[in-house]
């Protein structure tokens, strides 16, 4: 997933991919890591910007959950694990750092 900027070929997800996404559940340890990282992200942004608005944070958490679930389904699992959470954050940080001015 973190190779989204390098495309050799692309297969459009079929309907079954989205059905599988709906059935994805959290592993306990992965959910705990996700919550800790989310809290850390909130604390850092609060320190940096002195704002406690959570609408952007909620959107970030949704996007990160979606990325983790997609990675889970891509690896033919039905439970989000620690690797999925880490991959979601790596992908998200790479997306933030991507220069889209050339696009």
Q: What is the pLDDT of residues 40-75, one digit of tens each?
A: 988 887 666 666 665 667 789 999 999 999 999 999
pLDDT of residue 9: 77
22 HSE (CA, 13 A, CB side):
4
Phi, psi of 75 (to 5 degrees): -100, 20
Choose among 71, 74, 84, 78: nearest CA to 34.
84
Q: Which helix (H) or strand (E) holds 26?
A: strand 25-26
Query: Do residues 81 and 30 touch, judged by C-beta distance below 8 A?
Result: yes
Q: How confident is the model at residue 31 (pLDDT cuts 50, 70, 90)?
A: very high
Enter the tokens of residue 2: 């973190």
């Amino acid at each position: 997933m973190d190779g989204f900027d390098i495309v050799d070929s692309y297969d459009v997800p079929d309907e079954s991919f989205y059905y599988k996404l709906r059935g994805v559940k959290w592993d306990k340890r992965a959910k705990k890591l996700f919550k800790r990282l989310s809290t850390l992200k909130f604390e850092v942004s609060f320190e940096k910007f002195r704002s406690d608005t959570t609408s952007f944070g909620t959107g970030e958490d949704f996007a990160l959950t979606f990325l983790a679930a997609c990675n889970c389904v891509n690896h033919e699992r039905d439970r989000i694990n620690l690797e999925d959470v880490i991959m979601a954050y790596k992908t998200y940080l790479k997306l933030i750092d991507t220069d889209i001015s050339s696009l």
